[in-house]
């Protein structure tokens, strides 16, 4: 195996096939589905259900056992066939095997945490150390097909699913700042300043405005931080509909918080992103097209976002706030594009030495 492939594949010793990727992607879907159910339960069900043994935990941990059995079974089987430990897992899946151990330790910690401190509620569920360990372990597990396909240079559905799963892991721990979970710009969601005391007024305040703007910028960085590397690696080789699927994953934050009005927004923005990918053809060789794509996609997403708010209750922000937020989201996309595809001036400095 070439050194480059070894580096791209996460240090594993042999290549995997698409069939292996499909198995891991499918079993990871079971695990991710359990995660989403658990997130929904933490936000939607009464906090009085102080028990670890819940149906959604059953889905979550049975999904983990399924994918863990597949990965560990592969490792044990290949060791029994005489392979060295570093060669036992397919390329890209060494980190997934490590993720199994991290998730297992996090699961034990989660049981202990619930017994000692009870069930986390709302933001607590995002910051619980045991939950962070679970998210880290799950992220390593589910991103195996992505690393594998990345090393092979292939852009198939298992890789896209894996990319979406990994994005969900980050979206989970940052949903406290998600405008799709808490739409601060919507009528009736505003706050009053903490020093103002209790008030019946529903006019927007600086606190709600700041939280809303920061949330838009944060989630733009998260989304484009996953979209743009994939676009640079595979460009137009990404199957049409791949970005729509990724945006559908992003919409799960809205689903788990009951904000169903944003699901069509995410799907429409994803379709526009797929069309822009074909029209602009951004790639590592087309930096200008990459910048334009990075700007246009967030602008389209949040333009549709505010349009949905306008038709489902109204927008309480001023025109300056919501239009500026849309443009700033595009600016964040461009900044992320410079991390993914640095300026062409970098090689010039190298040549000048």
User: How many percent of the chain have pLDDT more than 90?
Assistant: 54
* CA–CA gap between residue 187 and residue 282 (Å, rounded): 38
Q: Which of 136-145, 164-173, 202-211 has the lowest mean pLDDT?
A: 202-211
* CA–CA gap between residue 86 and residue 182 (Å, rounded): 45
Q: Which two tokens stand for residue 165?
A: 């799963």
Q: What mean pLDDT is reported for the chain?
A: 84
pLDDT class for 198, splitting at 50, 70, 90?
very low
How many CB atoms sit inside 10 A of residue 142's CB?
29
Q: Which of 10-24, 207-221, 293-307 has the lowest mean pLDDT?
A: 10-24
Structure confidence at residue 66 (pLDDT): 96
- Span 333-344, pLDDT tens digits: 999 999 999 975
- Span 245-254, pLDDT tens digits: 999 998 888 8
Check pLDDT > 50 for residue 104: yes
Coil, strand or helix at 137 = helix
Structure confidence at residue 306 (pLDDT): 96
Q: Which residues neighbour 103 within 8 Å (Cβ) at sequence distance 6 or greater?
A: 64, 68, 133, 134, 137, 138, 141
Residues facing residue 286 across a β-bridge: 283
Of residues 144 and 59, more confidence is placed in 144
Check pLDDT > 90 for residue 131: no
Check pLDDT > 90 for residue 139: yes
* CA–CA gap between residue 79 and residue 333 (Å, rounded): 45
| Residue 114 host element (H or E) | helix 94-117
Domain assignments of the chain as residue spans, ordered by start = 1-153, 178-342
Check pLDDT > 90 for residue 263: yes
Check pLDDT > 60 for residue 197: no
Report helix angle 262-280 to 242-250, nearest 10. Answer: 150
Check pLDDT > 90 for residue 204: no
Check pLDDT > 50 for residue 241: yes
**Rounded to 5 degrees, what angle do the CA atoms 203, 204, 207 make?**
140
């Amino acid at each position: 195996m070439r050194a480059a492939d070894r580096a791209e594949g996460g240090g594993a010793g042999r290549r995997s096939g698409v069939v292996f990727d499909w198995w891991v992607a499918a079993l990871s879907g079971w695990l991710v589905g359990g995660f989403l159910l658990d997130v929904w339960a933490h936000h939607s069900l009464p906090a009085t259900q102080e028990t670890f043994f819940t149906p959604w935990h059953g889905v979550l941990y049975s999904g983990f056992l399924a994918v863990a059995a597949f990965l560990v079974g592969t490792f044990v089987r290949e060791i029994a066939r005489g392979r060295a430990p570093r060669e036992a897992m397919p390329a890209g899946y060494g980190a997934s095997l490590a993720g199994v151990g991290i998730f297992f330790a996090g699961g034990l910690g989660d049981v202990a945490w619930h017994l000692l401190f009870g069930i986390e509620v709302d933001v607590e569920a995002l910051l619980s150390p045991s939950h962070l360990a679970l998210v880290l372990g799950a992220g390593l597990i589910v991103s195996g097909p992505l690393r594998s396909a990345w090393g092979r240079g292939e852009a198939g559905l298992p890789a896209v699913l894996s990319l979406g799963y990994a994005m969900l892991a980050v979206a989970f721990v940052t949903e406290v700042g998600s405008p799709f979970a808490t739409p601060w710009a919507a009528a009736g969601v505003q706050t009053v300043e903490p020093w103002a005391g209790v008030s019946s007024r529903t006019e927007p305040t600086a606190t709600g405005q700041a939280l809303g703007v920061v949330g838009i910028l944060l989630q733009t960085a998260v989304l484009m931080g996953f979209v743009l590397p994939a676009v640079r690696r595979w460009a137009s080789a990404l199957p049409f509909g791949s970005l729509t699927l990724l945006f559908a994953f992003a919409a799960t934050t809205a689903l788990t918080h009951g904000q169903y009005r944003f699901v069509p927004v995410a799907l429409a923005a994803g379709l526009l992103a797929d069309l822009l990918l074909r029209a602009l053809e951004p790639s590592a060789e087309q930096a200008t097209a990459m910048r334009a794509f990075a700007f246009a996609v967030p602008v389209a997403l949040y333009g549709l976002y505010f349009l949905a708010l306008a038709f489902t209750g109204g927008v309480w922000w001023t025109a300056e706030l919501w239009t500026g937020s849309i443009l700033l989201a595009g600016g964040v996309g461009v900044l992320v594009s410079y991390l993914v595809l640095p300026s062409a001036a970098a090689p010039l400095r190298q040549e000048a030495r």
